[in-house]
Amino acid sequence: MAPWIFPLNLESAACEPVYLQITRAISADIRRGRLGPGDRLPGSRTLAKTLGVHRNTVLAAFRELQAEGWIQSEGLSTRVAEELPQASLEAQAVLRGSLGFPLEAALPPALAKSPKRPGALVFGTGLPDLRLLPTDWLARAYSRALRSRALLGYGDPKGELRLRTALACLLSGVRGLAVEPDQLMVVGGSQMGLDLVARTLLRPGDRVAVEDPGYAPAWVTLRTAGAELVPIPVDADGLQVEALAALLERQPIRALYCTPNHQFPTTVTLSASRRLNLLELAQKHQMAILEDDYDYEFTFDGSSVLPLASADKAGVVIYMGSLSKVVAPGLRLGFVAGPQALVEALSVRRYNADRQGDQVLERAVAELVEDDLLQRHVRKMCRIYQSRRGVLAAALERHLSGTVAFDLPPGGMSLWLRTDPSLDVEAWAGRAERKNVIFHPGHHFDFQGHVLPNLRLGFSSLNEEELQEAVRRMKEAL
């Protein structure tokens, strides 16, 4: 690092010696987190020049700090000690927790279960294999978009027009939606889309029905918007619409959040009869349907089932999708489709939060869609993921037959396994993690957090050899 200035507040009129003022100032900065363990301090000559004091004064302060355990000398450099006095740690905890309200500290399971050691094989909840992303396509498209200086200024909070136009064509041609660019909003991932919809549509105390088991991060988002959540069971045909109908006869429900295509986490598809009944219920009771179609593109067996939104004649469905599974989750691109008045309201709320998205990135992705490159990538990934699904299924049958059972879903990026009821799935997951294979037990998806005789294995981010090795490790852990 280049030489730097390190300002400290010293009181010239104070009766305390200057070296002690320097000592107290530096130790205070360590306690409040301005300086962390291992951070390098300026040299004694540099600090003396900055403070306008004699170098011996600074050296005396450094000796005092070292005696108290705040700093350590390493040759010609002086650093904050790696192991700080306990009082420092307690002081930092007080400072960081003194805002007067409880702070949420728990990470979602998908983040809390990140690999902690090299070589860990992670069955995610359904993520793309970033090793197969055609970054050269994206880089060239991004470079071309970057040459348009207009994209570096302020733009439409609904998203870059060319991307909205391209998405509208794609949704119309592939998913059967009748949607115009002004009925679409590009967002930073489907989670942001749900957050904007929830804070625009809901009022504190509104009841929202959710699938059980289901997608826990969405529950957090809805609760944050003030919703009171009501779980609806899921079976082999998807959401139990009959249970929802009975609930609607007793109390009003403002909205339903659902994943009807590949239900999260069970992967089942909502049956045709239930789809029709659900749309009729929503129209009759003026209930909004928040349809999260997070991995529509990946259907392997037969033709894709069109979204609920494609059959929505009453305007009750708000359709949310993501490009995270198609491109990469780190790019944070998703979309919301709905009535134009809703999209305008969402754009106002988005404008007030962060004004707009990354127009350069959005233009680059629009070019990939227009040139059919993104669609070509999806077709390639479908073939690869279908093969990986087969490899995982065969490995489970070979190594864990009798312990787990599953129905092969027609699409998606994960398998939902049923386990022997006598098996302690939580303990199995713990032993598996020690063998460097990570999977998500069923309780991560249960509305009440109850232990379920299930687990979810996302197969898309592991190649065929990794999938077989991961199942072998699971057997060892069993």
Query: For residue range 306-360, what is the model confidence (pLDDT) as tens digits?
Result: 999 999 999 999 999 998 888 888 888 999 999 999 999 999 999 998 888 899 9
**What CATH superfamily classification does 109-127+376-477 receive?**
Aspartate Aminotransferase, domain 1 (3.90.1150.10)
pLDDT in tens, 265-298: 999 999 999 999 999 999 999 999 999 998 888 9
AA identity, residue 141: A
- Does residue 92 have a pLDDT over 60? no
4/22 Cα distance (integer angstroms): 17
Burial of 124 (0-12, 13-18, 19+ CB in 10 A): buried
| Residue-level pLDDT at 108 | 53
Q: What is the pLDDT of residue 136?
A: 93
Which residues, in sequence order, are CB contacts of 279 under 8 Å at separation 6+?
Answer: 289, 308, 311, 312, 313, 314, 316, 317
**Separation CA 229–CA 362 (nearest Å):** 34
Distances (CA, A) of 302 to 56, 396, 416: 81, 24, 20
Residue found under tokens 């409880």: 102
State yes or no: pLDDT of 181 exceeds 60: yes
Distances (CA, A) of 274 to 249, 256, 278, 419: 17, 14, 6, 28
Give the β-pairing of 440-441 and 454-458.
antiparallel
CA distance 72 to 70: 7
> Is 135-371 in the same CATH topology as 109-127+376-477?
no
Calculate mean pLDDT across residues 55-59.
Answer: 91
pLDDT, residue 399, reads 96
pLDDT higher than threshold 50 for residue 115: no
Cβ atoms within 10 A of the Cβ of 380, count? 12
Mean pLDDT estimate for the chain: 89
Residue with tokens 């864990």: 400
pLDDT for residue 28: 87
Q: Check whether 103 has a pLDDT greater than 50.
A: no
Instruction: Decide: 290 and 256 in contact? Cβ < 8 Å.
Output: yes
pLDDT at 41 over 50: yes
Strand partners, 299: 411
Q: What percent of the chain has pLDDT over 70?
A: 91
323 token code pair? 């490009």
CATH, domain range 18-96: 1.10.10.10
| Measured distance CA(460)–CA(129) in Å, rounded | 6
CATH architecture assignment, domain 135-371: 3-Layer(aba) Sandwich (3.40)
The per-residue pLDDT for 147 is 92
Q: Which of 222, 209, 230 is nearest to 281 (CA)?
A: 209
pLDDT tier, 14 (very low <50, low <70, confident <90, very high otherwise):
low
Q: Name the strands in the sheet holding 454-458, side by side, starting at the edge strand that comes first in the sequence.
A: 404-405, 414-419, 454-458, 440-441
Higher-scoring residue by pLDDT: 261, 109: 261
As separate numbers, helices (DSSP H) first and strands (DSSP E) second, the chain gives 16, 16
Residue 95: what pLDDT? 43
Residue type, 164: R
Phi, psi of 23 (to 5 degrees): -60, -50
pLDDT, tens digit (0-9, with 9 covering 90-100), for 388-443: 999 999 999 999 999 999 999 988 999 999 999 899 999 999 999 999 999 999 99
The residue type at 259: T
Domain ranges across the chain: 18-96, 109-127+376-477, 135-371
Question: Helix, strand or coil for residue 204?
Answer: coil
User: Are 285 and 316 a contacting pair, CB within 8 Å?
Assistant: no
Note the pLDDT tens digit of each residue in 358-394: 999 999 999 999 999 989 999 999 999 999 999 999 9
pTM: 0.80
What was the pLDDT predicted at 4?
Answer: 53
Q: Give Cβ neighbours of residue 291 (< 8 Å, ≥ 6 apart).
A: 258, 259, 260, 307, 308, 309, 317, 318, 319, 320
pLDDT at 91 over 50: no
Q: Is 243 exposed, middle or buried (0-12, 13-18, 19+ CB in 10 A)?
A: middle
396: closest CA among 477, 478, 468? 468
**Residue 364 and residue 350 in contact, taking contact as beta carbons nearer than 8 Å:** no
Distances (CA, A) of 151 to 136, 180, 223, 350, 413: 21, 22, 36, 18, 34
The pLDDT of residue 110 is above 50: no
Question: Looking at residue 113, what is its pLDDT?
Answer: 47
| pLDDT band of 94, cuts 50, 70, 90 | very low
Q: Is 335 exposed, middle or buried (0-12, 13-18, 19+ CB in 10 A)?
A: buried
Q: Give the mean model confidence (pLDDT) for residues 158-174.
A: 93
